[in-house]
Amino acid sequence: MSDDEGRDSNPLGGRVDALLKQAKPQRAAGEVPVLTEVVADELAKRRTGIDRAVLEKIALDVERAVLARLGPELERLVNENLTRALDTALGKALDAVRAELAVSVRQMVREAVATSMVNALKSDPQ
């Protein structure tokens, strides 16, 4: 927060500024201004000298420049994270499918053996 912002938000600061402006002697034509007058004039010029449209254009240009520089890095990071996440998810999915297949194969073998045993016992004339 600058001094000016602090003064503007503080009512006492506003009163002090008003008193100082009232107490300021008027300069006669041709007199050299004091340093505080020069600085105050320069600050006033700086505050009012910037056009809002120019500021918005500068902001857009800065935004584009930052995005242009960050774009490739962001894309790389997104691809890395996406690849890592997909590898993890795919690995888990494949493990689950492999486990289900193993259970299914065991069940099919168990049923096939049981059926064969029943058929073999039926056909045995003992």
Highest mean pLDDT pick, 29-43, 44-58, 63-77: 63-77
- pLDDT per residue as tens digits for the range 83-120: 999 999 999 999 999 999 999 999 999 999 999 998 88
How far is Cα 56 from Cα 59, in angstroms, rounded to an integer? 5
In single-letter form, the type of residue at position 72 comes to P
Q: Is 30 helix (H, G, I), strand (E, B) or coil?
A: coil
In single-letter form, the type of residue at position 101 comes to L
Percent of the chain with pLDDT over 90: 37
In single-letter form, the type of residue at position 34 comes to V
In single-letter form, the type of residue at position 40 comes to A
How far is Cα 107 from Cα 113, in angstroms, rounded to an integer? 10
Q: Is the pLDDT of residue 52 over 60?
A: yes
Which one-letter DSSP state was computed for residue 51?
Answer: -
In this prediction the pTM is 0.38
State the DSSP H helix or E strand holding residue 27, giving kind and residue range, or none if neither.
Answer: none
Q: Is the pLDDT of residue 26 over 90?
A: no
Q: Is the pLDDT of residue 29 over 50?
A: yes
